[in-house]
Amino acid sequence: MDDHPNSLQVEALRILEVLSDIEFDNCLPLTREFNDLPPRPGIYAVKHRTQGILYIGKSGNVRSRFRGGHKALGWALIDRMSPDDIRIAVATLSFKWIRLSLQLEQIIIRQLLPPLQRAHRSGGLDQ
């Protein structure tokens, strides 16, 4: 596998573009079971209807990550955002990139600086 830092940067920016380009209406709505989220590894964005990407995270199983609760959704409610204005966009990861998901996530966060990560950062990234 090509672990060259430049290819990692290129892939992170490609994923960010994919997540950014998914129109809000095509993102997955909040539900109790999150059945429409993939049970696969991926990088996800919690998006707001007008504010754009609020939070970036990674998970080995995106569906399970949200079924187990997610702090970004709690923060959005604390910040008085309507659940109807919050949706989830997902970019699943190919096998080649799964082991580098933390690095991909970190590059994307540094590039974007999502507001919920800036405002509520507690010292660690979601797993």
Per-residue pLDDT tens over the stretch 92-109:
999 999 999 999 999 999
Per-residue pLDDT tens over the stretch 10-65:
999 999 999 999 999 999 999 999 999 999 999 999 999 999 999 999 999 999 99
What CA–CA distances, in Å, run from 25 to 16, 72, 102, 118?
18, 20, 28, 25
In terms of Cβ atoms closer than 10 Å to its own Cβ (0-12, 13-18, 19+), residue 51 is middle
Return mean pLDDT, the chain: 90
d(CA 56, CA 88): 10
**pTM, 2 dp:** 0.88
Q: What is the per-residue DSSP string for the chain?
A: ----HHHHHHHHHHHHHHHHHS-GGGSEEP-SS-TTS-SS-EEEEEEETTTEEEEEEEESSHHHHHHT--HHHHHHHHTT--GGGEEEEEEE--HHHHTTHHHHHHHHHHHH--HHHHHH--SS---
Look at residue 126 in the predicted model and tell me its pLDDT. 42
Task: Set out the domains of the chain in order of their start, with CATH numbers.
Answer: 5-120 (3.40.1440.10)
* pLDDT above 50 (res 125): no
